[in-house]
Structure 1
Amino acid sequence: MIKNIVKRDGRIEPYIPSKLNGWGRWAAANLGHMVDWSSIVIQSVSSMPDTVATADLQEKLIQNCLDKGTWSYYLMAGRLYASHLHKIIHGASIPTVRALHDRMVADHVMVRMDYDDDDYAQVESFINHELDYDTPHFSLHYIRKKYSLQNRATGQEYETQQFVYMRMAMALAETEPRDRRIDLVRRFYTEFSAKRMSAPTPNYVNLGTTLRGFASCCVYVVDDNEASLAVGDHIAYRMTAASAGIGSHLITRSKGNPVRGGLIQHQGKLPYLASLGKAVHANMQAGRGGACTTYYSGFDPEAEIIAYLRNPRSTEDRKNRDLHYALVTNKFFAEKVARNESAFSFNVWTAPELTRLFFSPDIEAFRREYLRLESDSSFKKEYFKPRDLILTSLNEALETGVAYLANVDEMNRHTPFKEPIHSSNLCLEISEPNRPYEDMRDLYSDHEVGFITVRYDDDRQQTFNFNEPLTVAAVDSTVPHTVFAGELKAGDVIVADEGGGRVQGITQAHEEPEIALCSLGAIAYDAIGEHDDEAYQEAMYLTLKMIDYCIENSHYVLPHVAVTAKARMNAGVGLMGVATHMARKGLRYDTQEGREELHRIAERHMYHAIRASLRISRERGVARWMHKTRWPDGWLPIDTYNRNVDELGNFEYQYDWEALRAEIVQNGGIGHSCLVAYMPGESSSKALGKPNSIYPVRDTTLNKTDGSVTIRWAAPGSDDQALHYQSAWDVSEVDMIKAYAVFQKFTDQGISADLWRRIKDDDKVSSSELLTHYFTMVKYGMKTRYYYNSNVASDRSLENAGSINGGVDKVECEACTM
């Protein structure tokens, strides 16, 4: 039984039970019958020695709350923990924002931001540390260990939760005009502290510091030559060292193909994939080994070998576990699978035009070229069974979780971009165009390097910047329209005050190389009233403003990436907390009523993303390469979505899309080339205290581990019988694909689309069932599929299976995990 209390200043006082009871009552305030504070107090007292330190007693109370394992007890633990953190980090009193920043600047933890005494006085008037007391323990603990600035060598801590949010808000508004920036600080801070807006990990830890790395995932493509392959490895090496996750696609010839006219026989892709794996793992990404998903065509002659590279049963000469692999197919491939027909393999060397059409939206043009080559007796053909290959990949996914899929024709069809999209990123939510680098000097150029030279009918020649907007009367149209110079073809008539004329042909071209970047943010759907569109628009506007700041102010280790990133202004705004919203409404992911609600969520999200981007474009202009997209023509996702989605529910639009289209056309486009991507969001969802992404929850309580940080997580309100969470393990793969398809309808990029499968004892997943999953993806227009999570119930509990480290070797980039 406790007799004496050792205060934090070293004083010893007699134990007074009423004081401890007061702690318990205070910590349980507003939680009602969901917690029993007295049992927590009694349990804590009974296990403590005669003399105990205040801090130890408070930690014991917190631990006993955590051991109860419910949302309400985690809130109670959070109140106690918030008080505890304030004392151990700040001492007797919480400092002002100015005082803390002065100290952190003096200790070289952050930089001096351009705010004066009056600015800091205004900031001090709206920071609200009381909000910490409404935060669950796991959220506070995750922010403390993962996101707050500290000297990790000495263990010196500086920030509690509200200081983290204020630092981010002040950094994001620092470059804004002085007459509005304090208002923007307040608005950013309000969204962060209310947990309506979610930032990626690099923003949490880099804003307000000397570190300026914000765009954390890159997607590059490699061409069929030695120089481009070398540049590709260099990109992977440098970007991994800069804490980026990597998405790559090596569009090269295959083993046995001739090189230099047959003087050399090509060694195939495996040596280059081995080199890529070593380049990625030579450096660390945010304190762990680098990560890369590399993409390969289903028609590639080496596809079957690549599909097995992560399999532990593969021979050593055909094993590469340094990379993850995504099989890229199209609708024609799926048709071959459905009919169990053979197909011939090809690559960029054997069939360059067919390869070009593979990365296009025109599946009929691809079919015609394929059939032409098939009937050409001079074209050497080697056949394979697409069904065997897709089943290899699907079984690998079931066994390892990490064999991914991408439908490339859908990626190029349902998109605002005009240029080819070759692959996605590490986590499969990005769908943006890129082009290979052929010269290392281009990678380090600080300006656009592409150009194109045309010859007119009168033999004049003229050279244009490859990306330059031109007014053209196309050979197949009488109406002048805007193109970029790289789109020019013979027969086009360039309309210009000086020069111009009918294009006879292209005499020289140096295409603009490009690495696609993802700059991300997210909105917590459950934190905004479902009828409060004004609040939703505010959250979306500020999320896009945050992305703008990160694109414009990031440090780019490869200078040309800065050029293309700022010209594109690619954004990817996702969602968090969708599972909680569904639980509050008592809806399931696998019913028509549930899909109709998901449709309302997805439509609202994209509509407000476009409106916010329009608003931003009126402040700073449209994206510089807007003419390289279809937005100026009035493109909307409702124009190109897969119409099979319509059969999944009785869907009605909530918003006036035609009025929005008219605004876009009148404005000449929007502020960003793309807007929405649904990333996994595993990291920042812990800081928010919400379920991640658009997924159903794996379980309502989980132990989650991220590096050295382990938390006990619970779904919000999950101990309230009024909320009905559906477990991801109870949603069939087909029903989950249908749910994703509804989101894909309104998504200009992609989805990190996970699937879940509970396997009991000797249950088997048949080949026909795996094929059904694939065909359902193709039918409803899913662009990508990410992890296939499986649980073996006889070997481990569902809770462990649902944990981050449960069975699947998950690797995600810092931005995609948010």
Structure 2
Amino acid sequence: MPAMDLTELLSLNEGEPPAAPPAEPPAPAQRPAFSRTIRKRDGSTEPYIPRKLNGWGEWAASAFGDKVDWSRIVINVMSAMPETVSSAELQEKLIQNCLDMGTWSYYRMAGRLYAPHLHKSIHGAGIPTVAQLHARMVADGVMVRLDYDADDYAALEGIIDHARDYDTPHFALHYIRRKYSLQNRATGQEYETQQFVYLRMAMALAEQAPRDARIDLVRRFYRAFAEKKISAPTPNYVNLGTRLRGFASCCLYVAGDSEASLAIGDHIAYRMTASSAGIGSHLVTRSKGDPVRGGLIEHMGKLPYYAALGKAVHANMQAGRGGACTTYYSGFDPEAEVIAHLRNPRSTEDRKNRDLHYALVTNRLFAEKAAKNERAFSFNVYTAPRLTALFFSDDAEGFRREYERLEADPAFRKEWFQPRELLLTSLNEALETGVAYLANIDEMNRHTPFKEPIHSSNLCLEICEPNRPYRDMRDLYSDREVGWIEVELLGGERRRLDFSAALTRNGRSIFAGELKEGEQVTSEAGETFVVSRILETYAEPEVALCSLGAIACDNLPEDDDAAYEEAMYLTLRMIDYCIEHSHYALPHIGVTAKARMNAGIGLMGVATTMARKKLRFDTPEGREELHRIAERHMYFAIRASLRVARERGLPRWIHKTRWVDGWLPIDTYNRSVDALGDFRYRYDWEALRREIIATGGIGHSCLVAFMPGESSSKALGQPNSIYPVRDATLGKTDGNVTIRWAAPDSDDDACMYQSAWDIAEVDMLKAYAVFQKFTDQAISADLWRRIRGDEKVGSKDLLAQYFAMFKYGIKTRYYYNSNVASGVSVSDGGRMSEAGDAGACEGCTL
């Protein structure tokens, strides 16, 4: 059938019965009467023309060979056609019959039918120009006027390509329509189809570029989005080009051991939830029964503060649903056993809090105690402040020495517990509820470019960045850095330095917060002085933020590294724009975010890359391919960040990272990974190191994090994140949007998808370990377990998973998906995080 142009496609309204009857036609008396009248979209009617329905079916199927049967679809529609039918209803019946076939190719066929249906439904008789649509959206108040003139819009008209919609699976088009396109959700007025969404985003991101380079940058952004090479988080889709400036994805804060700091933490959670961010919290405070104000008051413990935090998070809505928070607690905390049960529905009401998710934070010493089934003593910031500080550091041996010193100290009052029992409690909770998470604090503080303590991760456990507690609410609303350190110099002079002031010590960059007594340092101005005493410190408080993006690796050629670097560069440019132009409800968070320039770039479509090569996630050969993917990803993330640094300069706080010393993830990864495959580097890392040192660092404080990406992967038409697929076809629900999803080419014998349910948990952890090697942050590392009949998961299996995390250097473990957790069935998709993601933030679901 000859190709139709867009005008022809939009003009088709009806069809004809197939030339051949079904294989088993019903008896003539039972055959339904064919419609003789078509009611067109403008309200007029015309006689039914059979040729057109066949034309629709044949055209929609023309790209898929023998994987689809267009005549069968047409027959199905004809057999159920009423006497009179509208052209829109006829089109919808064709689409629905394609969807009912339940394969990737039929979903693409449905997309080819759905695209012109969308254009007609939203735009009417003809698709408007970009200028026309934007003028209408500005007039209706759903978009702001962007700084482009008539000549610019004329040039942009030659960039947008609506024909791309005809090569998009139905579920991606539908998801973008319902979730990402700008519309008046109160009246139901729709404005944008897919390509308009991508061009609006590209125009907003390039608006501040120099005029002579702006249209080219729009073109590059637009092509990257439209060709589905890069992925943006939900806030970018729905806020770029509008009055809304909430782009933050992930928010991590730590509250200190004071009434003021705990109250500030609740305030942060409340305001940042309203700004579309997901929350990761850690309350580093004393425990139930500890003295307050010299013993005048007995501490009530963490549960009342968790209750307040949960309500603060759920007080504000994100796209029609409450916010979400994962709170972190130490395995050595005296209240850990109680906290581990807080989400369990069988817990008593006074020991239950289902408003939060919980992550158990442990270290290597805890793991060793659990492995040997030895007892350990609990502690917190009040009972053992130095030990607590070492817990959140890269000095694992220092922690061990201090622990053993206190263990031998008869004056130190000890409360003993069994780490193995606590661990099994948490692991069983994960199996039953899916949402009891794990974090390895040693690895988070060791395999990292950051020099300062990391206390926790974020809502989805892929972000690992430093933060510090606030002690004064006014600091949150400051538009400048507030930390300082007061020192006495040799000779008696007292001097106050900004906490983050850059200094040089023995030829290495440090910041003032690292000063130690007796050191000789040189200021940025070239003055050399010796610190005699540290008199007082007011550490810079910080809420850690991370802005996200992702690369769709399956949509980038394996042999085109230039294209991969370009995709990385554009993703970082997008992140830069969002950091610089976001509205910060709490101004000091904007100050520190811009000083850090934290990025988290993940991957989408890894399962498809593996399937096309018929590789498994649980074999050495499969892990070698994962190594190739992970190495390429980090290498070009660094190269792209260097490019950004040369264009706009280094982040103000780059001296707080190891990048300035030429740090690379290959320096600090866990060497146990080497035994998992025959791994060889494809890129010249030492040359890259020299370039980093010569540049003075890179353009961002961190670069890579593997988030779930459950939302944006639907728009891409790809499997999400670095996960294997659960099944080749799935029903996926996000809020009020339900789609029928299929893995790309899953109905092609050339592809071999491995189900996540068929990968043993330890084998999945080994696959994650390969990615963790090249990751400066962490992974939302899901596990899957299919439980058959009355099968019981033994303690040995659960402990083996935990110890594998430590053996292979994995920082975090996210959902533990089982087909029995919370009643989720494998046949329904079986991922616990389907329910969990529904309560997650708009940013962290990417």
TM value normalised by structure 1: 0.98
Q: SS where residue 703 of structure 2 aligns? A: strand
Equivalent in the alignment of 2:8: none
Q: 1:281 deviation in Å?
A: 1.2
Question: Are 1:614 and 2:647 an aligned pair?
Answer: no
Q: Structure 1 residues 193, 762: closer, same or farther in 2, change over 3 A?
A: same
Equivalent in the alignment of 1:135: 168
User: What runs of 5+ residues in structure 1 fail to find an aligned partner?
Assistant: 473-478
Question: Are 1:39 and 2:72 an aligned pair?
Answer: yes
Q: 1:796 deviation in Å?
A: 7.0
Query: Structure 2 counterpart of 1:772, which letter?
Result: A
Q: 1:500 deviation in Å?
A: 4.0
Question: Please, what is the CA RMSD of the aligned residues?
Answer: 1.3
Query: Structure 1 counterpart of 2:255, which letter?
Result: V
Equivalent in the alignment of 1:802: 830
Equivalent in the alignment of 1:406: 439
Q: SS where residue 148 of structure 2 aligns? A: coil
- 1:656-735 alignment to 2 at 5 Å? 656-735=684-763
Equivalent in the alignment of 1:475: none
Equivalent in the alignment of 1:630: 658
CA distance in 2, matches of 1:520, 1:657: 25
Question: Are 1:290 and 2:323 an aligned pair?
Answer: yes
Question: Are 1:536 and 2:564 an aligned pair?
Answer: yes
Contact 1:645 1:741 in 2 (8 A): yes
CA distance in 2, matches of 1:261, 1:806: 47
CA distance in 1, matches of 2:125, 2:827: 40
Query: Structure 2 counterpart of 1:429, which letter?
Result: E
Contact 1:699 1:802 in 2 (8 A): no
Equivalent in the alignment of 1:257: 290
Equivalent in the alignment of 1:238: 271
- 1:50-65 alignment to 2 at 5 Å? 50-65=83-98
Q: 1:368 deviation in Å?
A: 0.3
Equivalent in the alignment of 1:602: 630
Q: SS where residue 819 of structure 2 aligns? A: strand
Contact 1:304 1:389 in 2 (8 A): yes
Q: SS where residue 427 of structure 1 aligns? A: coil
Equivalent in the alignment of 2:255: 222
Q: SS where residue 262 of structure 1 aligns? A: coil
CA distance in 2, matches of 1:807, 1:465: 45
Query: 1:628-648, CA deviations, whole angstroms, 9 ceiling, x for partnerless residues?
Result: 000010000000000000010
CA distance in 2, matches of 1:516, 1:807: 26
Q: 1:266 deviation in Å?
A: 0.9
Equivalent in the alignment of 1:476: none
Say how many residue pairs are matched.
812
Contact 1:89 1:157 in 2 (8 A): yes
Query: 1:353-409, CA deviations, whole angstroms, 9 ceiling, x for partnerless residues?
Result: 000000011111100000000111110011100000000000000000000000001
Equivalent in the alignment of 2:600: 572
CA distance in 2, matches of 1:793, 1:95: 49
Query: Structure 1 counterpart of 2:507, which letter?
Result: P
Q: SS where residue 158 of structure 2 aligns? A: helix
CA distance in 1, matches of 2:741, 2:354: 31
Contact 1:212 1:553 in 2 (8 A): yes
Equivalent in the alignment of 1:342: 375
Instruction: Give the alignment partner of residue 403 of structure 2, picking from 365, 370, 377.
Output: 370
- Aligned-pair identity (%): 74
CA distance in 2, matches of 1:605, 1:695: 16
Q: 1:580 deviation in Å?
A: 0.3
Q: 1:770 deviation in Å?
A: 0.3
Equivalent in the alignment of 2:509: 482
CA distance in 2, matches of 1:807, 1:676: 26
CA distance in 1, matches of 2:343, 2:820: 20
Equivalent in the alignment of 2:103: 70
Query: Structure 2 counterpart of 1:539, which letter?
Result: A
Question: Are 1:545 and 2:573 an aligned pair?
Answer: yes
CA distance in 1, matches of 2:404, 2:559: 53
Contact 2:60 2:109 in 1 (8 A): yes
Contact 1:410 1:783 in 2 (8 A): yes
Q: Structure 1 residues 211, 808: closer, same or farther in 2, change over 3 A?
A: closer
Q: 1:792 deviation in Å?
A: 3.8
Query: 1:259-294, CA deviations, whole angstroms, 9 ceiling, x for partnerless residues?
Result: 111111111111111111111111112321111000
Q: SS where residue 519 of structure 1 aligns? A: strand
Query: 1:309-335, CA deviations, whole angstroms, 9 ceiling, x for partnerless residues?
Result: 011111111111111000000001000
User: What runs of 5+ residues in structure 2 fail to find an aligned partner?
Assistant: 1-33
Contact 1:404 1:786 in 2 (8 A): yes
Query: Structure 1 counterpart of 2:628, which letter?
Result: R
Contact 1:758 1:793 in 2 (8 A): no
Q: Structure 1 residues 793, 113: closer, same or farther in 2, change over 3 A?
A: closer
Equivalent in the alignment of 2:678: 650
Q: SS where residue 502 of structure 1 aligns? A: strand
CA distance in 2, matches of 1:343, 1:112: 62
Q: Structure 1 residues 499, 659: closer, same or farther in 2, change over 3 A?
A: closer
- 1:283-432 alignment to 2 at 5 Å? 283-432=316-465
Q: Structure 1 residues 666, 262: closer, same or farther in 2, change over 3 A?
A: same
Q: SS where residue 724 of structure 2 aligns? A: coil
Query: Structure 2 counterpart of 1:489, which letter?
Result: K
Q: 1:626 deviation in Å?
A: 0.3
CA distance in 2, matches of 1:676, 1:60: 44
CA distance in 2, matches of 1:358, 1:606: 28
Q: SS where residue 404 of structure 1 aligns? A: strand
- 1:772-811 alignment to 2 at 5 Å? 772-792=800-820, 798-802=826-830, 811=839
Contact 1:761 1:794 in 2 (8 A): no
Q: SS where residue 360 of structure 2 aligns? A: strand
Q: 1:241 deviation in Å?
A: 1.6
Report runs of 4+ in structure 1 exceeding 3 Å deviation: 496-500, 792-797, 803-811
Q: 1:801 deviation in Å?
A: 3.9
Equivalent in the alignment of 2:215: 182
Q: SS where residue 261 of structure 1 aligns? A: coil
Q: Comparing 161-170 with 262-271, which one deviates more in the overlay? A: 262-271
Question: Are 1:281 and 2:325 an aligned pair?
Answer: no
CA distance in 2, matches of 1:548, 1:809: 26
Q: 1:807 deviation in Å?
A: 6.9
